[in-house]
Amino acid sequence: MRPAGEAGLKLFQKWMGYLWDLAARKGAERVLMMVAFTESIFFPIPQDLLLIPMGLSRPRKVFRLATLCLAASVLGGIAGYFIGLFFMEMIGMAIINFYGLADKYLIIQQWYDRYDAWAVAVAGVSPVPYKVCTLTAGAFKINFAVFVIASVLSRGLRFYLIAAAIYWQGERARIFLEKRFDWFVSITLVLVILGFFLIKFI
Q: Comparing C-alpha atoms, which of 23, 37, 12, 65 is closest to residue 188?
A: 12
With vertex at residue 25, the alpha carbon angle to CA 33 and CA 49, rounded to the nearest 5 degrees, is 50
Work out the angle between the directed axes of helices 28-39 and 48-57 (0-180°, nearest 10).
160
pTM score, whole prediction = 0.74
> Distance between terminal CA atoms of the chain?
42
Q: Collapsing DSSP states into helix, strand and coil, what is residue 121?
A: helix
pLDDT tens-place string over residues 157-180: 889 988 988 888 766 655 555 555
In this predicted structure, the answer to whether residue 74 has a pLDDT above a threshold of 90 is: yes
DSSP 1: -
pLDDT score recorded for residue 192 = 46
Residue 79 has pLDDT above 90, yes or no: yes
How many other C-beta atoms lie within 10 A of the C-beta of residue 45?
14
Per-residue model confidence as pLDDT tens digits over 135-145? 988 998 888 99
Burial class (CB in 10 A: 0-12, 13-18, 19+), 71: middle
Give 196's pLDDT tier (boundaries 50, 70, 90): very low
